[in-house]
Amino acid sequence: MTAKPMGKLYTICEWIMKLAYINLLWILFTVSGLFLFGFMPATVALFTVIRKWFMKETDIPIWKTFFSIYKSEFLKSNIYGLVFVLAGAMLYADYYLILNLDGLIRIVTTSILLLISCLYVITLLFFFPVYVHYHLKFIDYFKYSFFLGVLNIHILLLVLLGLVADIFLLLYVPGLLPFFSGVSVACILMSSSILIFQRMQKQETNNVIAE
């Protein structure tokens, strides 16, 4: 009678260890790239492993897979990271320019900047799931990430709620940060994105059958 519950407990503990292990790898490789150059390839490697787990590839060698993706995606992912950094810097600079405006012009430009900033965040949130799931042209990764969030607002809201709850928990229990900070965010984003991918694939299949 106790074998089955003990087996489940072992499986849970095993997955906790896996999650903590890959989060430590993510931090290690991010720091090894001086953060500036390590964050993007380390995050791509993290999302790649998480995606494989969600796609039932649970027996992959974590270290080998992570390190291989980190090396192969180092240059390419940093180019995409540079685009996000430049875009973010432009939004930040625009914010300070708007502070010098007055009246209606300030209200209008602030509203526009806020809207653009929201779209920027949406694109950033879904970029990594799209990047590790599809093989696209350079600009298409940004387009797909953008439309994935905008056209699935209900899932986007659930993602945001999940991220807020996750951040609150991590801040409430800071001891969890070294072990689950990045991987918890990746799991929320990747699981939600896979749900959208599957729905899109099912819809495409139904459209083909209908034709």
Concatenated DSSP letters of 102-123: -HHHHHHHHHHHHHHHHHHHHH
8 Å CB contact between 45 and 70? yes
Tell me what the mean pLDDT of segment 82-101 comes to: 93
In percent, the amount of the chain with pLDDT more than 70 equals 94
Q: What is the pLDDT of residue 1?
A: 45
Tell me what the mean pLDDT of segment 49-72 comes to: 95
Measured between alpha carbons, how far is 105 from 98 in angstroms, rounded to an integer? 9
- Asked whether residue 203 carries a pLDDT value surpassing 90, the answer given is no
Measured between alpha carbons, how far is 29 from 43 in angstroms, rounded to an integer? 9
Tell me what the mean pLDDT of segment 184-209 comes to: 88
| pTM, entire model | 0.93
Q: Name the residue range of residue 50's domain.
A: 3-210
Tell me what the mean pLDDT of segment 184-189 comes to: 97
- Asked whether residue 8 carries a pLDDT value surpassing 50, the answer given is yes
Q: What is the pLDDT of residue 34?
A: 84
- Say how many domains are in the chain: 1
* Residue 17 CB burial class (10 angstroms; 0-12, 13-18, ≥19): exposed
